[in-house]
Amino acid sequence: MASFWRSTRFRVAVSAFVASALALGAVSVWFVLQARGRLEDAAVQLAGAHADAIVQLLNTGARPGDLPLLVRDSIYEVTDRSGRRVASCPALVGATLNLGGRWDVDRVQVVRPYQYDRSLPESVGCAPQLGGLDGDLRLHVVARVSGDSRYHVFAGVAVDEAGTAAVDSVRTALGFGVPAVALLIGVIAWLAVRRALRPVEAIRAEVAGIGAQDLGRRVPAPRSGDEIARLAGTMNSMLGRLDEAVARQSRFASDASHELRTPLASLRTQLEVLLAHPDRLDWRRACENALLDVTRLQELVADLVLLGKLDHGGPERLEPVALSEVVVAVAGGRDGVDVEVGATPVVLGHRARLERLVRNLVDNAQRHAVSRVVVTVSVVDGYALLVVDDDGPGIPEGERERVFDRFVRLDDARARDDGGSGLGLAIVADIVRVHGGTVLVDGGSRFVVRLPDLKTS
Lowest model confidence (mean pLDDT) among 74-83, 171-180, 253-262, 410-419:
410-419
Lowest model confidence (mean pLDDT) among 303-312, 411-420, 435-444:
411-420
Mean pLDDT within 424-431: 87
Closest CA to 113 of 95, 86, 101, 128: 95
Mean pLDDT within 383-402: 87
Statement to judge: residues 141 and 75 lie in one domain:
yes
Residue 439's pLDDT is 92
Domain membership flag for residue 55: yes
Contact 36, 216 (CB under 8 A): no
Residue 400's pLDDT is 81
Contact 185, 16 (CB under 8 A): yes
Domain membership flag for residue 261: yes
29 vs 422 pLDDT, higher one: 29
Structural domain ending residue among the three candidates 290, 309, 328: 309
d(C-alpha 128, C-alpha 117), whole Å:
13
Statement to judge: residues 18 and 157 lie in one domain:
yes
3-state secondary structure (DSSP) of residue 441: strand
- Mean pLDDT over all residues of the chain? 82
Q: Which residues 6+ apart lie within 8 Å of 441 measured at CB? A: 395, 400, 403, 447, 448
Packing angle, helices 351-368 and 424-434, rounded to 10:
140
Closest CA to 307 of 252, 244, 246, 241: 252
Write out pLDDT tens, residues 110-150: 888 777 777 777 777 775 666 556 677 788 888 888 888 88
How many distinct structural domains can be found in the chain?
3
Banded pLDDT at 414 (limits 50, 70, 90): very low
Write out pLDDT tens, residues 158-195: 877 788 888 889 888 988 999 999 999 999 998 888 88
Statement to judge: residues 140 and 56 lie in one domain:
yes
Q: Which residues 6+ apart lie within 8 Å of 95 measured at CB? A: 111, 112, 115, 116
Write out pLDDT tens, residues 260-300: 777 788 788 878 887 887 777 777 877 887 788 788 777 77
Other C-beta atoms closer than 10 Å to the C-beta of 86 total 16
Contact 439, 429 (CB under 8 A): yes
Name the pairing type of β-strands 346-349 and 106-111. Answer: unpaired
Domain membership flag for residue 48: yes
- Look at the alpha carbons of 404, 405, 407, 410 in this order and tell me if their dihedral is positive or negative: negative
Statement to judge: residues 305 and 357 lie in one domain:
no
Statement to judge: residues 322 and 303 lie in one domain:
no
Query: Which residues form the domain of 45?
Result: 11-164
Domain membership flag for residue 175: no
Residue 131's pLDDT is 59
371 vs 310 pLDDT, higher one: 371
pLDDT at 456 over 80: no
Domain membership flag for residue 2: no
pLDDT at 386 over 90: yes
User: What are the two backbone dihedrals, phi and then psi, of residue 453, each rounded to the nearest 5 degrees?
Assistant: -95, 120
Statement to judge: residues 362 and 413 lie in one domain:
yes
Statement to judge: residues 299 and 361 lie in one domain:
no
Structural domain ending residue among the three candidates 115, 132, 164: 164
Statement to judge: residues 302 and 320 lie in one domain:
no
Domain membership flag for residue 22: yes
Other C-beta atoms closer than 10 Å to the C-beta of 161 total 10
Q: What is the CATH number of the domain that holds 233?
A: 1.10.287.130
Statement to judge: residues 282 and 320 lie in one domain:
no
pLDDT at 48 over 90: no
Q: CA separation (Å) from 244 to 238, 241, 248, 376?
A: 10, 5, 6, 35
pLDDT at 413 over 60: no
Statement to judge: residues 157 and 18 lie in one domain:
yes
Domain membership flag for residue 213: no
Domain membership flag for residue 220: no
Statement to judge: residues 145 and 59 lie in one domain:
yes
Q: What is the CATH number of the domain that holds 322?
A: 3.30.565.10
Residue 30's pLDDT is 92
201 vs 391 pLDDT, higher one: 391
Classify residue 263 by burial, with Cβ atoms within 10 Å: 0-12, 13-18, 19+.
buried
Separation of CA 360 from chain center: 45
Write out pLDDT tens, residues 225-251: 777 788 888 888 888 888 877 777 777
Statement to judge: residues 87 and 158 lie in one domain:
yes
Q: Mean pLDDT highest for which of 60-69, 118-127, 306-315, 406-415?
A: 60-69
Q: What is the CATH number of the domain that holds 153?
A: 3.30.450
Residue 419's pLDDT is 44
Residue 105's pLDDT is 57
Structural domain ending residue among the three candidates 271, 290, 309: 309
